[in-house]
Amino acid sequence: MHVIDSHTGGEPTRVIIEGGPDLGGGSIAERCAVFAREFDEFRTMTICEPRSSDAAVGALLCTPSDPSCSAGVIFFNTAGFLGMCGHGAIGLAATLAFLGRIKPGEHKFETPVGVVNVDLLSANMARIENVESFRSQKALAIDVDGVGVVRGDVAWGGNWFFLVDEAPALLRIENIQQLTQIATKIRQALKNAGITGEGGAEIDHIEFFDAASGKANSRNFVLCPGGAYDRSPCGTGTSAKIACLAADGKLAPGENWLQESIIGSRLVASYRSGANGGVIPSITGSAFICGETKLVFQDDDPFRLGIT
């Protein structure tokens, strides 16, 4: 299997260039369903240990069904499949530029949740225009075991998020273990209470916010579905944040929001109004190529399919 590894703001993306499963035709959403139903071992063997880690996101490069798109992509991690991935889309843009498959300018990527516009600004910088994002619940109170009552917003940014403005601890690297434990408890409390996104979708991302350093507007901590924290400010999480800010009248269309991650990497975000009452977020960031690798899967390897 031929893969290209990159990172966006410190968060890894592994793009499968060759050697992935044959998912047949249909839309990327339809092929994602086939991937999950019939070829899940390709996900685990590519992104789980010993070949990768909980922090990484995988991206299967596909031929798009939409002829206006430069690429189709299915995102996944150690826990399952993702509707969209902001840092991963930026990483894919940098990967395709590295391979000479796209040049600076406007492109489109077909994802399972819709078409994402991509403006490749340079070999390592891209601006993505995400799917329409919105807030579904404001200031929802949830009683969390060992923590107490926590209030947050439920919002969609390509994945479902529970956004907590009052972080349970300072968003510093030395507090990552504590933040991870509390975020895990919040996610479980939401599940136990039957609180979901639209259509019963699991709220599988938890996001805390705090005051940022320097010129950034805020700092965040995002717990991803696999149990690892996002090293980047999280493109879909920033999209969900932008939707909440817009709903509260705290950010005007076209106004920039500089989001900082817990390790200090940054994304620049803004939005325009969406057709269905939400917002269309624009996320700008940089990705850098880390390696070009051929993964080997030996038949007698006891962890051939990954450690799950």
pLDDT digits (tens, 9 = 90+) for 166-187: 999 999 999 999 999 999 999 9
Percent of residues, the chain, with pLDDT higher than 70: 100
Q: Give the pLDDT confidence score for residue 77 in this predicted structure.
A: 96
At 143, which amino acid appears?
A: D
pLDDT by residue (tens digit) across 108-139?
999 999 999 999 999 999 999 999 999 999 99
pLDDT by residue (tens digit) across 91-101?
999 999 999 99
pTM: 0.95
Question: Alpha-carbon distance 20 to 216, whole Å?
Answer: 39
pLDDT of residue 40 exceeding 80, the answer is yes
Find, among 290, 292, 9, 285, the residue nearest to 122 by Cα: 285
pLDDT by residue (tens digit) across 185-211?
999 999 999 999 999 999 999 999 998
Tell how strand 218-223 and strand 205-210 pair up.
antiparallel
- Residue showing tokens 């189709």: 72
Structural domains in the chain, CATH included, are: 2-131+289-294 (3.10.310.10), 134-273 (3.10.310.10)
pLDDT of residue 213 exceeding 80, the answer is no
Residue 62 falls in the annotated catalytic set: no
Among the listed residues 85, 224, 244, 290, the single catalytic one is: 85
Burial class (CB in 10 A: 0-12, 13-18, 19+), 65: middle
Q: 94: which DSSP letter?
A: H
Query: Rounded to an integer, what is the distance from CA 161 to the centroid of its chain?
Result: 11
pLDDT of residue 267 exceeding 90, the answer is yes
Q: Give the pLDDT confidence score for residue 31 in this predicted structure.
A: 98
Question: Alpha-carbon distance 224 to 24, whole Å?
Answer: 29
Among the listed residues 62, 69, 224, 234, the single catalytic one is: 234
Q: Are 271 and 253 in contact (CB under 8 A)?
A: yes
The structure tokens listed for 105 are 């300018």
CB neighbours (10 Å) of residue 127?
A: 19
Among the ranges given (31-35, 39-43, 223-227), the one the predictor scored with the smallest mean pLDDT:
223-227
Q: Give the pLDDT confidence score for residue 19 in this predicted structure.
A: 97
pLDDT of residue 301 exceeding 80, the answer is yes
Q: 161-173: buried (b, 16+ CB within 10 Å) or exposed (e) per residue? A: bbbbeebbeebee
